[in-house]
Amino acid sequence: MAIKWSALEVSKAMDEVEHQLSLAEAFLDEAKAKALRAENISQLPLYMEQRVRRVVYEIDRMDNIRHAIKSVRAAIPDGAVEADQERRNQGSQQSLQL
């Protein structure tokens, strides 16, 4: 049974999301490093330290996005991307008319 949605488009969209995440990764790593430095500020009250730790925790949660992308990819039926690509390739070829 053929799927009615485009597995190829979903796969390409996940490729684009992964690309954007890779661009953001350096900025997020820098933000985390700065937050960790803030956590070590002399005489920082515990309530502030806890809030700074939450910032670090939230940055670390970005890995959840990678797991979500894997989940999307895993839900695409086996061979669906290739079949979709093949259908597109066949549809874009001109037929010979005699």
Distance CA 2, CA 89 (A): 17
Residue with tokens 């996940």: 14
pTM greater than 0.85 (yes/no): no
Residue 13 lies in a domain: no
Q: Express each pLDDT in 46-85 by its tens digit.
A: 999 999 999 999 999 988 999 999 999 999 999 999 988 9
Residue 86 lies in a domain: no
Distance CA 95, CA 64 (A): 47
Residue 87 lies in a domain: no
Structural domain range at position 53: 29-74
> Could you give the number of structural domains in the chain?
1
Q: Is 26 left (phi over 0), alpha (psi -120 to 50) or beta?
A: alpha
Q: Express each pLDDT in 5-54 by its tens digit.
A: 999 999 999 999 999 999 999 999 999 999 999 999 999 999 999 999 99
Residue 12 lies in a domain: no
Residue 68 lies in a domain: yes
SS3 (DSSP) at 98: coil
pLDDT at 98 exceeding the cut of 70: no
* Length of the chain in terms of residues written: 98
